[in-house]
């Protein structure tokens, strides 16, 4: 027993579990093992908290514009009421050109009085550097969220103070600085590479906006700052008013009501809300309709003149020239069959012309009236406002004769009419038109660029109820910032054969 106990004490396995860790050489080995485990664990945890360092040249390149932006942002917010998220990347891109532009330009100014030819040699490379700076500035200012408005008044001041208080401890702690740099880099990548779904609205250079009014039509045609011609009002006053407010319209010199169906005139009170309306144009064949009578009574109560216009009537407002091309005064709305088709075929049809292209706004025109317009009034247009929400009553000959490259369809999601019809989507696709639909893309803007026009969707407002239509068939431009570009057309594209003398008739 004594031998076994002695043997146990030598091996460190007797007299309790800790005896062997407190005697002899085993004590030193145990402490060494414990310290190594503690250091390894600490190193692993430090690795989880510390991000790998940026390369020195990257850190130095980003540090200067980032520090400058952080320093001046509070001042810019107080002075301009906005922040510029793209400033850091823009300054980073122009940094290599700043020194050459400054030094060469300064040198040219010194040399010019005594050696003009030498100054010219210095100005040439300086011009390339300045050109690069200008190019980056133009590119950056057109990015989505290039400038973001800051709230005004006490809420804006409180938000600014809160942002500064949050930023100070973040920038003082090294670990948080690395996290902040990562977040900023991800945000810049989203702006520059991914490009956000929702950009500033309306887009710069907008010419026309098709409002997402549900199952109906509501279009806004640019007429100058804060002004627009409105063509139809959709079925809901609140939705039409909201669309006009998004675009910033408070003056409507002309309101065109293509025909008296509720999905085109039901939102008229939304247009009249807190806005000046100069005059209203209606179809010459709307007499006797119940909707037309109510509208006339409303306009008379507000002392807004109501006109009818014959083909050839032309107006110019700001960048837009609008010409009435239908209905003919002698048609009597006698096309088609049934009351619905007669009213649809009596729609006011407009050809809208801009410097960079043109559009045909077809109301609810159906097959018979489309064919009549083709033979009586040949038209070319770059953009088609697809008649009657893309119903199946379309004339292939008429649509093909337009030479259009983009079709806009105003349609309600999950509507009961089956609009747009699969046959119409297929026809538009065969004719080479890119289709944009409000039920998939929300508001649609036609904008002017250097090479022509483009169609930009705003994106659906998912706070509203949306239902997939299940029809498919044409290009879906919804939920992404899809842009359809149309190059500047030749002059003959605008020829609609109209007379310059307007012929308006007061009702």
Max CA separation in the chain (angstroms): 130
d(CA 394, CA 373): 13
Q: β-pairing, 148-149 with 82-83?
A: antiparallel
For 22-44, the pLDDT digits (tens) are: 444 445 454 554 555 555 544 44
Q: Cis bond leading into 265, ω under 30°?
A: no
pLDDT of residue 152: 61
Q: What order do you get walking across the sheet with 306-309 strand by strand? A: 484-487, 452-457, 444-449, 206-210, 219-222, 228-231, 255-257, 280-282, 306-309, 504-506
pLDDT of residue 369: 92
The number of CA neighbours under 13 Å toward the Cβ of 277 is 25
What six digits make up the tokens of 322?
A: 């609008």
Question: 457 or 33: which carries more pLDDT confidence?
Answer: 457
DSSP E strands in 117-187: the ranges are 148-149
pLDDT of residue 200: 73
What six digits make up the tokens of 257?
A: 């009501």
The residue-averaged pLDDT of 164-187 equals 59
Closest Cα to residue 212, out of 474, 462, 453? 462
pLDDT of residue 274: 92
What six digits make up the tokens of 475?
A: 């290009």
d(CA 94, CA 72): 18
- Work out the angle at residue 81's Cα, subtended by the Cα atoms of residues 75 and 83, and round it to the nearest 5 degrees: 75
Question: 168 or 292: which carries more pLDDT confidence?
Answer: 292
The residue-averaged pLDDT of 259-265 equals 93
The residue-averaged pLDDT of 202-227 equals 96
Residues 6+ apart with CB under 8 A from 279: 253, 254, 255, 304, 305, 306, 307
DSSP letter, residue 312: T
Q: Report the percent of the chain where pLDDT is more than 90.
A: 45
Burial of 501 (0-12, 13-18, 19+ CB in 10 A): exposed
Closest Cα to residue 374, out of 352, 351, 400? 400
For 276-290, the pLDDT digits (tens) are: 999 999 998 865 566
Closest Cα to residue 261, out of 349, 333, 364? 364
Question: Within 10 Å of residue 354's Cβ, how many Cβ atoms?
Answer: 21
The number of CA neighbours under 13 Å toward the Cβ of 383 is 33
pLDDT of residue 505: 46
For 335-356, the pLDDT digits (tens) are: 544 445 888 999 999 999 999 9
d(CA 153, CA 12): 77
What six digits make up the tokens of 465?
A: 């109820």
The residue-averaged pLDDT of 151-160 equals 68
What six digits make up the tokens of 116?
A: 């003009």
Is the pLDDT assigned to residue 170 strictly greater than 50? yes
Helices 116-141 & 87-111, crossing angle to 10 degrees?
170
Is the pLDDT assigned to residue 16 strictly greater than 50? no
Q: Are 214 and 239 a contacting pair, CB within 8 Å? A: yes
pLDDT of residue 81: 63
Question: 104 or 496: which carries more pLDDT confidence?
Answer: 104
Question: Within 10 Å of residue 7's Cβ, how many Cβ atoms?
Answer: 11
Helix or strand run (H / E) with residue 398: helix 396-402
Round to the nearest angstrom and report the end-to-end CA distance of the chain. Answer: 126
Question: Within 10 Å of residue 71's Cβ, how many Cβ atoms?
Answer: 9
Q: Report the percent of the chain where pLDDT is more than 70.
A: 63
What six digits make up the tokens of 431?
A: 């004719």
Q: Provide DSSP, 133-146.
A: HHHHHHHHHTSTTS
Query: Domains along the chain?
Result: 56-194 (no CATH), 206-506 (3.60.15.10)
d(CA 7, CA 10): 5
For 369-414, the pLDDT digits (tens) are: 999 999 988 899 999 999 999 999 999 999 999 999 999 999 998 8
Q: Are 70 and 84 a contacting pair, CB within 8 Å? A: no
pLDDT of residue 196: 43
pLDDT of residue 459: 73
Residue with tokens 């039509």: 217
Closest Cα to residue 468, out of 425, 409, 415? 415
Q: Are 392 and 419 a contacting pair, CB within 8 Å? A: no
d(CA 248, CA 246): 5
pLDDT confidence of 431, banded at 50, 70, 90?
very high
- Work out the angle at residue 451's Cα, subtended by the Cα atoms of residues 190 and 253, and round it to the nearest 5 degrees: 90
d(CA 480, CA 202): 16
The SS3 call for residue 380 is: coil
Residue with tokens 């036609």: 446
Q: What is the sign, positive or negative, of the torsion defined by CA atoms of 324, 238, 227, 276?
A: positive
What six digits make up the tokens of 298?
A: 């409303």
pLDDT of residue 91: 83
Q: β-pairing, 320-326 with 314-317?
A: antiparallel
Q: What is the mean pLDDT of the chain?
A: 76
The residue-averaged pLDDT of 238-257 equals 96
């Amino acid at each position: 027993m004594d031998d076994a106990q002695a043997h146990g004490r030598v091996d460190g396995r007797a007299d309790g579990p800790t005896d062997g860790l407190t005697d002899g050489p085993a004590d030193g080995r145990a402490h060494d093992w414990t310290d190594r485990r503690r250091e390894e664990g600490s190193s692993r945890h430090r690795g989880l908290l510390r991000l790998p360092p940026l390369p020195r040249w990257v850190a130095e390149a980003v540090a200067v514009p980032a520090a400058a932006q952080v320093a001046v942002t509070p001042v810019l917010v107080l002075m301009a009421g906005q922040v510029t998220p793209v400033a850091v990347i823009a300054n980073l891109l122009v940094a290599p050109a700043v020194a050459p532009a400054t030094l060469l330009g300064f040198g040219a100014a010194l040399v010019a009085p005594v050696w003009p030819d030498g100054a010219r040699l210095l100005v040439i490379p300086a011009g390339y550097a300045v050109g690069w700076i200008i190019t980056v500035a133009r590119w950056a200012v057109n990015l989505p969220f290039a400038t973001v408005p800051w709230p005004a008044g006490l809420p804006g001041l409180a938000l600014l103070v809160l942002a500064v208080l949050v930023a100070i401890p973040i920038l003082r702690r090294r670990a948080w600085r690395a996290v902040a740099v990562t977040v900023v880099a991800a945000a810049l990548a989203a702006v520059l590479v991914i490009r956000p779904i929702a950009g500033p609205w309306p887009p710069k250079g907008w010419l026309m906006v098709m409002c997402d009014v549900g199952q109906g039509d509501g279009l806004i045609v640019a007429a100058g700052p804060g002004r627009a011609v409105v063509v139809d009002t959709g079925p809901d006053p609140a939705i039409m008013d909201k669309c006009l407010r998004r675009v910033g319209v408070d003056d409507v010199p002309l309101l065109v009501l293509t025909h008296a169906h509720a999905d085109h005139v039901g939102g008229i009170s939304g247009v009249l809300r807190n806005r000046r309306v100069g005059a209203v144009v209606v179809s010459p064949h709307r007499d006797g309709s119940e909707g037309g009578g109510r509208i006339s009574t409303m306009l008379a109560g507000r002392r807004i003149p109501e006109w009818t216009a014959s083909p050839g009537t032309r107006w110019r407002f700001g960048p837009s020239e609008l010409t009435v091309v239908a209905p003919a005064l002698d048609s009597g709305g006698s096309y088609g069959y049934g009351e619905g088709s007669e009213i649809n075929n009596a729609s006011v049809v407009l050809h809208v012309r801009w410097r960079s292209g043109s559009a045909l706004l077809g109301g609810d025109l159906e097959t018979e009236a489309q064919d009549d317009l083709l033979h009586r009034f040949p038209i070319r247009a770059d953009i088609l406002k697809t008649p009657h929400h893309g119903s199946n009553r379309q004339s292939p000959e008429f649509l093909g004769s337009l030479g259009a490259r983009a079709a806009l369809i105003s349609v309600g999601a999950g509507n009961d009419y089956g609009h747009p019809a699969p046959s119409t989507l297929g026809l538009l696709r065969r004719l080479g038109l890119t289709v944009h639909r409000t039920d998939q893309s929300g508001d649609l803007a036609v904008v002017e660029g250097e090479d022509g026009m483009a169609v930009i969707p705003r994106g659906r407002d998912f706070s509203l109820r949306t239902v997939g239509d299940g029809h498919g068939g044409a290009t879906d431009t919804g939920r992404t910032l899809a842009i359809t570009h149309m190059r500047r057309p030749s002059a003959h594209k605008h020829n609609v054969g109209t007379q310059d003398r307007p012929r308006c008739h007061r009702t």
